[in-house]
Amino acid sequence: MSYRHQLPSGVRIVGEEIPFLRSVAIGIWIGTGSRFENKQNNGVSHFLEHMFFKGTERYSAKALAELFDNLGGQVNAFTSKEYTCFYARVLDDHFEIAADTLSDMLLHSQFQVDEMDKERKVVIEEIHMYEDTPDELVMDLLAEGIYGEHSLGFTILGLEENLRSFSRQDLLSYIESRYQGNDIVISVAGNISEARVIETFGRLFGHYQPSGTGSRQLVEPPFRTPVVVRQKDIEQMHVALAAPGLPAGHPDMYALILMNNALGSNPSSRLFQEIREERGMAYSVFSYHSSYLDCGMFGIYTGTSPENLSDVLQLIQECVARFAEQGLSEEELSKGKAQLKGSMMLGLESTSSRMSRLGKNELLLRRSISIEETLAAIDAVRTEDVLRVSRQLLQHPFAISTVGPMSEVDVQAAIQNSGWVNA
């Protein structure tokens, strides 16, 4: 059984006791990311993620690393467009020290200037590495093309010039503004009782109160459909396409997931079979969906040779159009449901997966969703639901981004030759 508790500070604690395991996963989820930045501080959420590991009042950066290594545990963090997560997985015997150390990082990091100077160089190298990773770069270009000046179009890593300018006070001000108690969720899954979790984090976060009064006001983003081209001296053309999707918690989410499964998210999907297995025109081809608080994006990615670009775009368009016209058969829907439920149930054998599920649901949807509720929602999807969602999303014009050796003129010509009509 899962549980939920809210501290006087507004911090929410969600968890699930799993007594037959020996591990425990802890996540501290903060409701801020690149979406809540502006042009001047784009990258600050991600830079802070790094800096929280660079020393507290009690621990140096090296001591923090050694502490979790000595426990045989794992500790890490990540930043997304709408949230940041700091997490650890340890043996249940080490719960208190892991919880105490993660909390110490979040509440008592020093942000020493010399550590900041070293770490900004690390993040700038990360940005440079990203520029050299075309399958990642093409996704950023796609978001920038779709959302334009809206912050959903910002990169998570941020701009190099911003990284060079961040001061210690900039980090402290951002924490005061964005790390509000009611935007913090602590999720715990594993062999640890609810009482111990509440007592431990109640003591650590019970009086948490940043002095700022920041808010997460959402501004509805546009959805533009440009063709964005970055010419780069590499072998392949990396291509990303996207149409509007659904926001987190939308009633049609499971119909969309089943559509995505059948269209392109696994090796038996239509795009994979048509483009890779039958034609041999790509090594990687897949579809995906990104959900945000008030909107979403349905995307397709592939990497192919320049001479195949026009044919691959034509195949993608034909596959998408056919799906929007016909949807799924009852047999395909049944297989998709079994696959989705099987994947979900296997994931539940991991304390980290359970912790992430609890944390994200509470942070984004402000509620817990039981396994039984999820299974019932999957079973309730009908073929006509998938067809309706497919027509809603796949018949919308697509944005396109490319990274590769072809110029913008050549890419536009390939799109025209493919007969692509909804870009």
User: Quick check: 195 and 369 in contact, CB under 8 A?
Assistant: no
Distances (CA, A) of 298 to 134, 261, 378: 19, 12, 19
Active-site residue identified among 17, 49, 119, 362: 49
Residue 31 maps to a domain: yes
Identify the pLDDT of residue 211. Answer: 54
Q: In CATH, what number is assigned to the domain containing residue 267?
A: 3.30.830.10
Check if 307 is active-site: no
Q: Is 211 within a domain? A: no
Asked if pLDDT for residue 212 goes beyond 60, the answer is: no
What share of the chain has pLDDT > 90, as a percent? 88
Q: Is residue 267 part of a domain?
A: yes
Indicate whether 256 belongs to any domain: yes
Q: Which of 206-210, 252-256, 369-373 has the highest mean pLDDT?
A: 252-256
- 44 pLDDT more than 80: yes
Q: Which amino acid is at 120?
A: R
Span 102-123, average pLDDT: 96
How far the first Cα of the chain sits from its last, in Å, is: 47
Confidence check: pLDDT of 423 > 80: no
What's the confidence (pLDDT) of residue 306? 97
Q: What are the pLDDT digits (tens) for 149-167? A: 999 999 999 999 999 999 9
Domain that holds residue 139: 2-205
Among 136, 171, 205, where does a domain finish?
A: 205
pTM value? 0.94
The pLDDT of 207-224, averaged and rounded, is: 76
Residue 128's contacts (CB-CB under 8 Å, 6 or more residues apart) are none
Looking at the structure of the chain, the number of domains it has is 2
Q: Which residues pair with 302 in a beta bridge?
A: 239, 285
What is the Cα–Cα distance from 383 to 148, expressed in whole angstroms?
Answer: 35
Residue 389, domain member (yes or no):
yes
Mean pLDDT of 201-218: 76
pLDDT digits (tens, 9 = 90+) for 293-313: 999 999 999 999 999 999 999
CA distances from 161 to 8, 149, 178, 381 (A): 39, 18, 22, 48
pLDDT for residue 348:
83
Half-sphere exposure of 367 (CA within 13 A, CB side): 7
Please indicate, yes or no, if residue 214 is contained in any of the structural domains.
no
The contacts of residue 381 (CB under 8 Å, 6+ apart) are: 254, 255, 258, 333, 337
Q: Per-residue confidence at 139, pLDDT binned at 50, 70, 90?
A: very high
Average pLDDT over the chain, rounded to whole? Answer: 94
Same domain assignment for residues 176 and 313: no
